[in-house]
Amino acid sequence: MIKQTLMFTLPAYLSLKDNQIVIQLKGAEQAVTRPIEDIGVVVVENAQVTLSVPLLNALVDNNVAVVFCDNKQMPKSMLMNLDGNTTQQESYRYQMEATQPMKKQLWRQLVECKIRNQAALLSKMDKDADALKPYYMNVKSGDSDNREGLASRIYWPLLMGADFRRDREGEPPNQLLNYGYSILRAAVARALIGSGLYPAFGLFHRNRYNAYPLADDVMEPFRPFVDEIVYHFYFDGAASELDKQSKIELLRVLFADVKMGKLTRPLEVALSMTTASLLKVLKGEQEKLVLPVLP
């Protein structure tokens, strides 16, 4: 089932009644309700949004990723369920006992898929996709020679123009990419917890200040789906800066079509398929991840 994403940009009071979120916008006469079970992500952007504790508990119990934004309306923190799967203790053990060679092979698969999807997006935009072929064809265990980084240096100028530099604090459309990746990261973390995995146990990403390194690992092959939305939004002249409309468009990345083998699924569902396959690899039940293909 595809889950809804709710974004709150106006002052509101959010509460719980009969397992539904009750949305009372400031100044509105009537409240609006939505079933908790239909919600996957909640983005709280306005500082004047108030959430009741029973609602927060209900959202957590239903594995809803609650994302809070800072004073620049950028995603800053997440409220996640620490008990999102009935067998998560067993799953955590598989994560902790994963060997370094296994982690390196998993990272190789993720990097190769990411570069292939970058090439697919270039081809879709009538760019030189063949320029990335030497990189996704030669990814080594653990990406020991940094094919991901080398491919990135070619990918971004081809996609966004020779003058573009991918930098979190850089010129537009970097802000659009930042926002899209933040939403994707929250959705990946939610999928990991739903599969019984702990986002803090990473494969490649590791930083003492990063609470979700595994989410950063798994989201890599899904990044080009954000890139495609930003490309169209930016070059079609709809927006170069973050505004309400661009954020709505970026939230729709969770519903983008993704090819998963012979199936086509919404990205939100594809994430769960990938995280479920990751657990199976860690348990030794299969060797390869189920990874996305950009159609």
* Judgement on whether residues 143 and 251 belong to the same structural domain of the protein: yes
Q: Among candidates 177, 179, 182, which has minimal Cα distance to 232?
A: 177
Q: Is residue 290 part of a domain?
A: no
**CA distance readout (Å), 8 to 11, 46, 49, 185:** 8, 6, 8, 19
Examine residue 289 and state whether it is found in any structural domain, yes or no. Answer: no
CA distance 96 to 31: 46
- Identify the domain containing residue 175 by its residue range: 88-282
The helix/strand/coil state of 232 is helix
The answer to whether residues 132 and 122 touch, using CB atoms and an 8 Å cutoff, is yes
| Mean pLDDT for back-to-back runs of 10 residues, the chain (295 residues) | 87 96 93 94 93 94 89 82 66 90 97 98 97 95 95 97 91 93 93 89 73 91 97 80 86 95 94 97 96 97
Specify the CATH number for the domain of residue 59.
3.100.10.20
Number of structural domains (the chain) is: 2
**Tokens in use for 225?**
């789906």
Tell me if residue 115 falls in helix, strand or coil.
helix
Residues 232 and 111 in one domain: yes
Query: Of 79, 96, 124, which residue sits at a domain end?
Result: 79
CB atoms within 10 A of CB 181: 21
Residue that has been written with the tokens 């998560």 in this structure: 88
Q: Are residues 61 and 9 in the same domain?
A: yes
Q: Residue 67 phi/psi, 5° resolution?
A: -110, 125
Q: Indicate whether 44 and 92 sit together in one domain.
A: no
Q: C-alpha angle 259/63/19, rounded to 5°?
A: 120
Query: What CATH code is carried by the domain that includes residue 252?
Result: 1.20.120.920
d(CA 188, CA 234): 25
Domain membership flag for residue 291: no
Neighbours of 38 (CB within 10 A): 15
In this structure, what DSSP letter does residue 126 have?
Answer: T
Note whether 57 and 125 are same-domain residues. Answer: no
> Is there a domain that residue 237 lies in?
yes
pLDDT digits (tens, 9 = 90+) for 89-136: 788 888 989 999 999 999 999 999 999 999 999 999 999 999 999 999
Residue 292: inside a domain, yes or no?
Answer: no
Write 272-276 long-range contacts (CB < 8 A, 24+). 272/191, 272/194, 272/195, 274/191, 274/218, 275/188, 275/191, 275/192, 275/194, 275/195, 275/197, 275/218, 276/195
Residues 269 and 232 in one domain: yes
Q: How much is the pLDDT for 31?
A: 94
pLDDT at 164: 93
**Would you state the pLDDT for residue 63?**
86
Residue-level pLDDT at 222: 98
Decide: pTM greater than 0.85.
yes
